[in-house]
Amino acid sequence: KNQVEQSPQSLIILEGKNCTLQCNYTVSPFSNLRWYKQDTGRGPVSLTIMTFSENTKSNGRYTATLDADTKQSSLHITASQLSDSASYICVVSDRGSTLGRLYFGRGTQLTVWP
């Protein structure tokens, strides 16, 4: 069964600190993995996307890694800011359907305190 599991479910950190969010997936065949940021009451916005051959991708203070062998990904946030408070969703796309099927994790709810 194609699944995307994220951990932790929620995380509280102080402003300025770093954190790492985890994503494990069983989606096959694999096309790409994306991290989305979803602010409360808003739609998800894409942060990074990685294909099978990419190990790391950065977007400002966000750095995503991918290990396609172990089917794991992480999102590292450096020097957190209050505006980083949001849900971070790991999304995996399969290569097996014309729909371009996306599999969503439940997200990690990050709260940054001043």
Partner 1 sequence: EADIYQTPRYLVIGTGKKITLECSQTMGHDKMYWYQQDPGMELHLIHYSYGVNSTEKGDLSSESTVSRIRTEHFPLTLESARPSHTSQYLCASRRLADSTDTQYFGPGTRLTVL
- Among positions 1, 14, 41, 83, the unique one binding partner 1 when judged by CB under 8 A: 41
As given in the structure block, the two tokens for residue 60 are: 């400002």
Alpha carbons within 13 angstroms on the beta-carbon side of residue 103 total 23
Please tell me whether residue 59 adopts helix, strand or coil conformation. Answer: strand
Closest distance between partner 1 and the C-beta of residue 42, in Å? 5
Vertex 30 angle, CA 29 and 33, to 5°: 160
Q: Looking only at residues 46 through 105 of this chain, which bind partner 1 when binding is defined by CB under 8 A?
A: 46, 49, 89, 93, 99-100, 102, 104-105
Binding site for partner 1 (CB under 8 A): 4, 9, 31-32, 34, 41-46, 49, 89, 93, 99-100, 102, 104-107, 109
